[in-house]
Amino acid sequence: MFIDQGDLLQGMSMIFTKRFMDIATRDNHDKGEFLFHEGDPADYFYTLIIGSVRLTIETGHRVYIVEKAGDAFGWSSLLDREVYSASAECLERTVLLKFDRNNLGKLLEEHPDNGLTFYKKLAQILGNRLLHSYKVICDTAGT
């Protein structure tokens, strides 16, 4: 199985990338379907193939829209958090790659160089989302 994983797998070895794809399951979801709710056990990490997913926090405020192929979410599962920090709702028919936290964690430990690069890429993704959130907060405060 091959899809464009965007920046997440850039610079990884071919062996790691193949194993990464081998442990993934392909999931199809309908519009309006929730993948998880804030506070649910953080068991899976996801990357988007097609569609879009709205991430919201308990207050109902949109945090981020995942809409670019290869974009990742469900990061709580990789950071030893027990629960998800947001809810994820499909905004249209959506296809994802889903990774069990234990299987992905084991793969990252077995390939420490690639694991380090993976976590750096994940930190970069989260940093970009944080900057996006700052902009949303500033725009909202200005109105």
Rounded to an integer, what distance in angstroms lies between the CA atom of residue 102 and that of residue 2? 22
Count of CA atoms in the C-beta half-sphere (13 A) of 107: 23
Which stretch of 21-35, 54-68, 85-99, 109-123 has the lowest confidence by average pLDDT?
A: 54-68
In this predicted structure, what is the pLDDT of residue 129?
75
Confidence of residue 4 (pLDDT cuts 50, 70, 90): very low
50 closest CA partner among 27, 32, 34: 27
pTM as predicted:
0.85
> For residue 72, what are the β-bridge partners?
47
Residue 3, pLDDT above cutoff 50: no
Q: Count the Cβ atoms, other than its own, within 10 Å of residue 36.
A: 21
In this predicted structure, what is the pLDDT of residue 116?
93
For residue range 122-143, list pLDDT tens digits in order.
888 888 877 776 676 667 666 5
Q: Please tell me the CATH code under which domain 14-135 is placed.
A: 2.60.120.10
The beta-strand segments (E) located in the chain are 25-29, 34-36, 44-50, 53-56, 62-66, 72-73, 87-90, 94-100
In this predicted structure, what is the pLDDT of residue 143?
54
For residue range 41-97, list pLDDT tens digits in order.
999 999 999 999 999 988 767 778 899 888 899 989 988 889 999 999 999 999 999
Say if CB 50 and CB 94 are below 8 A apart. Answer: yes
Confidence of residue 6 (pLDDT cuts 50, 70, 90): low
Average pLDDT, the chain: 87
What are the boundaries of each domain within the chain? Answer: 14-135
In this predicted structure, what is the pLDDT of residue 141?
63
